[in-house]
Homo-oligomer: A and B are copies of this chain.
Amino acid sequence: MSKTNRGNFFEDFAVGQVIRHATPRTITVGDVSLYSALYGTRFAVQSADSFAQDIGYPRAPVDDLLVFHVVFGKTVPDISLNAVANLGYAGGRFLAPVYPGDTLTAVSEVIGLRENSNGQSGVVYVRSTGFNQDGVEVLDYVRWVMVRKADTSLPAPDPVIPTLPAALAPDTLGGAVPILDTDAWRTDLSGSSARFADYQVGERIDHVDGMTVEEAEHMIATRLYQNTAKVHFNQFTEGQGRFGRRLIYGGHVISIARALSFNGLANAFHVAAINGGRHVAPLFAGLTVHAFSEVLDAQELPGREDVGALRLRTVATKDRPTADFPYKSGDDYDPSVILDLDYWALIPR
């Protein structure tokens, strides 16, 4: 029996396989403080118990993306330790609120496999689900990663490619948010008077500010999530690799972009779903992240008068301010773009 985890290779996965991941993790106010200090988030609901309680939460919920990163981190040793690339996300839903003191675990099911034509690697599709200590689902999402084969002589499995939604439907949103008393939502405290009706489909918002990333910061963050992907931590081996340096966890970029988006989306307090996401290019320490958002859609939630949903594309760049909204030329991304994220955010009506 090998006691060291070598991770799974492409041939180790089978469609329908269910993997319960190690290590359960109790989220505490300590994690919340670190998350705040690493990204500088300012959304009032997550920042202040009093604000959250005034509108109907029992206390300030844990930031949605902190929940995402912790669940994601658990999947790494089993799913992506031998990954060549993290290709995309889809169908991510935040299903129940998480509060300090809750303990998260994660399970993944393999829902698709497709070997690459070179026979060296293949794409693995997994649906990962996060649970709290009561067995309640708090989050699920699909991601697909390209994983190396260890034994390239093995035959390719029958390809199975799951059908993934382009976007979550509005009636699937909001499970993580209690019915809110939005009359009690104080816009002086939240930082903006712009509510649901103030945003127009097609509107683009430059988030203005930029954030430079240091090696210590992204490693502290990624360890906080118990994400063990080697490329983030080991300069000795990465220094000899393709980029010559450590790669920053893509989720770190998502959280930076989300924190920057406060300036323009201060009341869009909750990430309700991740429709799709792509890490277009890697980020390295010393570079500065800027971001802009485009409103792709705006929908009421069936049966809810308190909040509406904005479908947003948030685009992050490196060393490139975003006042002119750099994105794509035809099918090609602007060379500055590092993140293209499509998600639903909830905002008071």
Contact = CB atoms under 8 A, between A and B. Distances in A.
Given A23-B191, A26-B50, A212-B233, 5 more contacts: A23-B43, A23-B47, A24-B44, A24-B47, A33-B33
A50 B224 contact: no
A286 interface: yes
19 contacts: A3-B194, A4-B263, A22-B42, A23-B191, A24-B50, A24-B51, A26-B47, A28-B32, A30-B34, A31-B33, A36-B223, A39-B223, A40-B228, A210-B233, A212-B233, A216-B217, A216-B220, A237-B288, A237-B321
Interface string A19-60: 010111110111111101111101110011111000000001
A188 B20 CA distance: 6
A42 B219 CA distance: 15
Interface stretch (A114-122, A167-175, A201-209): A201-209
Contacts of A223: 36-40
B4 A205 contact: yes
A1 interface: yes
Contacts of A299: none
Contacts of A258: none
A23 B187 CA distance: 10
Contacts of A270: none
A222 B209 CA distance: 15
Contacts of A25: 47-48
Nearest to A203: B3
Given A30-B29, A47-B25, A50-B24, A37 B220 contact: yes
A154 interface: no
A103 interface: yes
Contact of A48 (B26, B48, B233): B26
Contacts of A205: 3-4
B263 A105 contact: no
A208 B30 CA distance: 29
A341 interface: no
B26 A220 contact: no
A228 B209 contact: yes
A222 B194 CA distance: 27
Contacts of A105: 189
A50 B188 CA distance: 39
Given A47-B26, A194-B1, A226-B40, A219 B214 contact: yes
Nearest to A237: B210
A17 interface: no
A246 interface: yes
Interface in A211-235: 211-212, 214-217, 219-224, 226, 228, 230, 233-235
A60 B233 contact: no
A190 B22 contact: yes
Given A34-B34, A209-B230, A3 B235 contact: no
A198 interface: yes
Contacts of A233: 40, 209-212
